[in-house]
Amino acid sequence: MKLKEGIQGGYVNLSQEEYQKLGQLSFDHQLSGSDITLVCTKVLVNSFLEDNLVKIWQTSSDYDKQLKLIDESHNKITYNLLEKEILNLSQNKKEAHEHSMQYALS
């Protein structure tokens, strides 16, 4: 899932300013479009864990209400969550690079 598609689809709640800040953050950390797609997919999957489904099914037997609760659980992807995952990915890539350099030098 691309970030812009998530915003247009209503799964990601970002202002234009936050969208630009994430773009700058990604650029500053030398992340590619594929990296950001990975971040977005991870965040979307984590926002919709199986535990959430079980809770939704237990909460209501009304199908329409279940669909509404599912939609609400998806609409919690925010700037702070994406920023955290971008920083985590950047740190992981940095550590992997450092480890590969140490291995190459030994």
Q: Alpha carbon of 8 to those of 2, 14, 25, 41, 66: distances in Å? A: 10, 10, 21, 15, 23
Phi, psi of 60 (to 5 degrees): -150, 140
Three-class SS state of 1: coil
**Domain total for the chain?**
1
Amino acid, res. 1 = M
CB 79 within 8 A of CB 22: yes
pLDDT at 35: 92
pLDDT score of 100: 87
pLDDT in 10s for each residue of the chain, 106 residues: 577 887 887 778 889 999 999 999 999 999 998 998 889 888 877 776 666 777 777 777 788 887 777 777 665 678 999 999 999 999 999 999 888 888 777 6
Global pTM value: 0.71
Instruction: Supply the range of the domain harboring residue 55.
Output: 3-105
